[in-house]
Structure 1
Amino acid sequence: MLKDLKDSDYQSFINSSVYCAVGFYANDEDSEKMLALLEDFQQHHASCSVAKINVENTETAKSLGVTRELAPLIVIYDSGKPKKALNKATISAENLAASIEGGTKNITLQ
């Protein structure tokens, strides 16, 4: 089961391990598909911490510029820094695994 992040534990979660994947979701069908993918990913990639956060009622999502219109969105963190973001068009098991295993550059969130 995915950890359900709140504003109070978001920062400590992304700093808790080398690789983290956070799924920003809304209450819609596309987000449900993303959450199922994250659940499966978590089972096969124990070295990556995985969690979810609702964009509709958190200051964290607002501060990062992640709105309901952008959900679903997965942000991969490397040592607490955003490394890659996968949006609705690019979310897949292959892209998620490549983001953790590959050597992409860090990105800047708003």
Structure 2
Amino acid sequence: MPIVAQVLIALVCMIHVYIFLLETVLYKSRGVKVFGIPPSEVESRKAAMSNQGCYNGFLAAALLLGLVYPDPAIAKAFATFGLACVAVAGVWGAVTVMVRILYIQTVPAVLGLAALYFL
């Protein structure tokens, strides 16, 4: 796997570990600030954010497996799956929540896919 692809996959993985932490463990302290959740909605959104964080954790796990799995073909499959899911989720987030998500999630994931397949 090209080093550029590995770096981009690691970056996307770290972004999703951070998002996972913001939506679960750090939701009340840091997450509400980062996501701009009004104080009146913090408690009512807590369970949904935790569930959403769980999915981001799964994406990070797939990307991590793409980086460390010993069989190169399987590692590439995990990386492809993780990056593709992140790219699609980023597009959906940009359409339904805020355009900024496209740049935070989709762009790095697409760059990672490009590096994985074209370098």
| TM-score (structure 2 length as normaliser) | 0.30
Larger Rg: 2
**Structure with a larger share of its residues in helix:** 2
| TM-score (structure 1 length as normaliser) | 0.32
**Structure with a larger share of its residues in strand:** 1
